[in-house]
Amino acid sequence: MTDATDTRTTDSTAGDGLTAQYHPGEVEQRRYESWVRGGYFEADPASDKPPFTIVIPPPNVTGSLHMGHAFEHTLMDALNRRRRMQGYEALWLPGMDHAGIATQNVVERQLAAQGLSRHDLGREKFVEKVWQWKAESGGAILGQMRRLGDAVAWSRERFTMDDGLSRAVQTIFKRLYDDELIYRANRIINWCPRCLTALSDIEVEHSDDDGELVSIRYGDGDHAIVVATTRAETMLGDTAVAVHPDDERYRHLIGTEVELPLTGRRIPIVADEHVDPEFGTGAVKVTPAHDPNDFEIGQRHNLPSLTIMDERAVVTVPGPFEGLDRYEARPAVVAALREAGRIVAEKRPYQHSVGHCARCKTTVEPRLSLQWFVRTGPLAKAAGDAVRDGRVAIEPADMAKRYFAWVDNMHDWCISRQLWWGHRIPVWYGPAGEMVCVGPDDEAPSGDGWHQDEDVLDTWFSSALWPFSTLGWPEQTPDLAKFYPTSVLVTGYDILFFWVARMMMFGLYAMDGRQPFDVIALHGMVRDEHGKKMSKSFGNVVDPLDWMDRFGADATRFTLARGANPGSDVPVSEEWCQGSRNFCNKLWNATRFALMNGATVAGELPPSDELSVVDRWILSRLQHVTAEVDEQFEHYEFAKVCEALYHFAWDEVCDWYVELSKPVLSGGGPAAERTRRVLGHVLDRLLRLLHPVIPFVTEELWIALTGGETVMRAPWPVAEDGRIDDDAEEELLALQKVVTEVRRFRADQGLRPTQRVSAALTGLGNVGIDGHETLIRSLSRLDPPAADFTATATLAVTGGIAVDLDTRGTIDVAAERARLAKDRAAAEKEAAQCRAKLDNDAFVAKAPEPVVAKIRDRLSAAEADLARIAASLEALPTS
């Protein structure tokens, strides 16, 4: 059997314009540059086409393309390219996030290498240094996005610190402040003692770490009470012990005081329903300044909050522990308690969840601090209502409950950061305690004693404005009028709470109840082939740039999209990427074959009644696949899109239709001309359907095939019901079954692809394919029976078709006996199961007649198979 895309042909005069092999490196950069020069990625707000908008989740200016980016960008690009082909005014807007902590850390490390700190430069000079770094070294990911094929409107690139977005930040801050939705207060926040700033929840990574659980006795005698803690050093800041009000063990102690060991202070025992009486001893120490739950207890009971550590997590309480780092203080406090006879129990190691700074991995310290907060209650409710009332759809739908679990229980958001790089909080303080919030068009207070707040805003604050600030808000721009709300947000479920919900809150607030996007399409995390999270420590991180170097951008994209089931994690492997590269090569060879055989896209397709059954079959299959791909795209089922196109392209077009068309093409005449037109039409539509996922190879092939300007501007294929032909599909399915069964037999026997075998075919007329006998023999390498023909093997095919083969001198008799024995065992099992059901009087009496009839048919088929197999075994040579 020859390769289905073998380019040998009798029509050798047709040039194809394609190299003998596909080399992605020779195509990708050239094609991408031509798209940018042609302005194909741009969008016109004055267009009368319906809008389709995606704003890119802005990557950090410090970042480089990792597999998660490549995956997410592939999905966005596919949606964007398809909509453009469907006639939409499609805008995919690019940009980057200033990444406050990450970027400041990068520049501070550069200064440290010179023996300097940011304080040596001062704020103004340091910020200038960061801008200089951004201009020289930041944004490497933008060039990598080009390599991947991102069809973004580069002329609209935005940055969260550019002038327009800075104006948007000041505007919304002022509005929220005036509406009393932004306030300043002392609250417990996540604090990084290394980065010296507050952190948002998204910037804290939790892991199960080994620590110790120490049980400490407070007080003595009948008034003693035992508490357990993993952070013994924080007991220096305890201001109460809390128990549940219904806990009989401690009811007599509620309202009394107990002495706090090592300090001499007396603290109250309070009743609070927050305490779980089933956990530990049922009594908890309360340190309001160093634990968020304890802070809430402290607020309810009007307890003092004692800060016992400074910003670097060094103990500040006067006494023997003063000046010790928290990790030095912990064993020192335990040792002192042990010496005082206060340790009741110690459990080591004790595994518990610990938060770490996502940037520097330092353990986060809960800390009472004066910070700026967004009052999220009304904003979060609006964000929940927008999904509940259908203005915003979440795909997959079952992710909505996770969204509601967050927005319905959202805490106020700490938005201030103790950094120099970022949007500085637009609040000024006066010499007499005045506080003035300044909008972008307001004049800031000046004079002696006035100064601006030193903090900057959380990076996520400006990112929350991204869907509308990038379109010109707060100005009422043509872009904003045309392209807002955006059509779909493609993002990972892991930031559903932290970014998506915040964009929803700010979008609805700033845009008078208009949602920032119509659909939230959530995807999972990219993992290795075993489903394991990619991590440098595991040694399983895959660099998409490496895959693009070796296999091409299209192969990388197809591998990622083929695993993209909504909301589910995506396993990938190099082997799968190699398979995707082979798929691109298959398309290349098929198109090259078509061109060398004169395939054309010129003129109308011939009417169905003038086409062969093979041509009608492939056109019918094309309609089904087109409809399926359209439906799956609408539901963000990228994996199903890729599977449908892969199997249609490889199995049906290349492995069947190309092979079936070869005899027709070599025969010439009107039939060949009609097949050339059908072949060109099928490949034209197939390349269009594949273009959103694999843009480079499809662009190169489509232009070679059609002579068109670019496939990006070719209309998206639409299924034509008039070309669906059930009879042709049924007829070709029967033909395929015969050929497949013979090929399977040949493979089992180890026959060479070119080796001919004599065979008699009977029963083809039973399924209406007797007219295809010559074609079946050609595809199966079967010769007509010779004068001395002896059937030594018989293959039974559905529909009563039999293929008797003369295998003398061509097969391994022992292997064939083993194969037939395996088939016989399967047929005997099937027959036994059917007889058991039919012998069961209760089953026969209660089951519907069609079900019983089907069992009888299965039994008959199994018995026929057993008779055939017995005959085949009998016919095999004895040696």
Q: pTM of the predicted model, to two decimals?
A: 0.84
Per-residue confidence (pLDDT) for residue 3, from 0 to 100: 43
309 and 355 share one domain: yes
What is residue 878's predicted lDDT score, i.e. its pLDDT? 64
Q: Is residue 854 part of a domain?
A: yes
Give the contacts of 359 (CB within 8 A, at least 6 positions apart). 101, 102, 105, 192, 195, 203
Cα separation, 37 vs 154, in Å, equals 11
Total domain count, the chain: 3
Whether residue 614 sits in one domain with residue 647: yes
Residues 705, 759 share a domain: no
536 known ligand binder? yes
Please report the pLDDT score of residue 877 as a whole number: 65
CA dist 130 to 114, 361, 419, 423, Å?
A: 15, 23, 12, 13
Distance CA 375, CA 413 (A): 7
Among 333, 366, 399, residue at a domain's last position? 366
The percentage of the chain sitting over the pLDDT mark of 70, rounded to a whole number, equals: 97
Partners of 227 in beta bridges = 216
According to DSSP, the residues that pair with 544 across neighbouring strands are none
Rg over alpha carbons for the chain, rounded to the nearest Å, is 36
Other Cβ atoms within 10 Å of 101 Cβ, number: 25
**Conformational region of residue 149, where left means phi above 0, alpha means psi within -120 to 50, and beta covers everything else:** left
State residue 231's pLDDT score: 94
Same-domain check for residues 770 and 651: no
Regions of the chain with pLDDT less than 50: 1-15
Give the separation between CA 436 and CA 458, rounded to whole angstroms: 20
Q: Are 69 and 480 in contact (CB under 8 A)?
A: no
CA pair distance 622, 629, nearest whole angstrom: 10
Instruction: Tell whether 254 is covered by a domain.
Output: yes
Whether 231 is in a domain gets the answer yes
Whole-number pLDDT of residue 16: 58
Same domain, 683 and 756: no
Residue-range definition of the domain harbouring residue 869: 740-875
Question: Across-strand partners of 768?
Answer: none
Which residues in 64-166 belong to E strands, given as ranges? 89-93, 95-96, 158-159
Q: What is the CATH number of the domain that holds 346?
A: 3.90.740.10
Residue 349 backbone zone (phi > 0: left; psi -120 to 50: alpha; other: beta): beta
Helix (H) or strand (E) holding 827: helix 813-838
| β-pairing verdict for 225-229 and 204-218 | antiparallel
43 CB burial (10 A radius; 0-12, 13-18, 19+): buried
What stretch of H or E contains 269? strand 266-271
In this structure, the answer to whether residues 206 and 343 fall within a common structural domain is yes
214 and 354 both lie in a single domain: yes
> Domain boundary at 366, 390, 411, which?
366
**Predicted local confidence at residue 570, as pLDDT:** 86
Q: What residue type is 591 in one-letter code?
A: T
* Nearest Cα residue to 413 out of 501, 491, 312, 307: 501
Residues 798 and 659 in one domain: no
DSSP at 790: -
Residues 6+ apart with CB under 8 A from 420: 104, 118, 123, 126, 127, 130, 456
Q: Is residue 324 part of a domain?
A: yes
Q: Is residue 518 part of a domain?
A: no
CATH of the domain at 614: 1.10.730.10
224 lies in some domain: yes
CA dist 802 and 864 (Å) reads: 12
- In this prediction, residue 6 carries a pLDDT of 44
| Rounded Cα–Cα distance for residues 510 and 516 (Å) | 10
Q: Are residues 254 and 292 in the same domain?
A: yes
pLDDT of residue 13: 31
Domain final position from 366, 391, 408: 366
Regarding whether 326 and 212 lie in a shared domain, the answer is yes
436 within domain boundaries: no
Query: Do the domain assignments include residue 831?
Result: yes
Q: What are phi and psi of 441, to 5 degrees?
A: -105, 5
Look at residue 708 in the predicted model and tell me its pLDDT.
Answer: 95
> Are both 719 and 762 inside the same structural domain?
no
Task: Answer yes or no: do 693 and 782 share one domain.
Answer: no
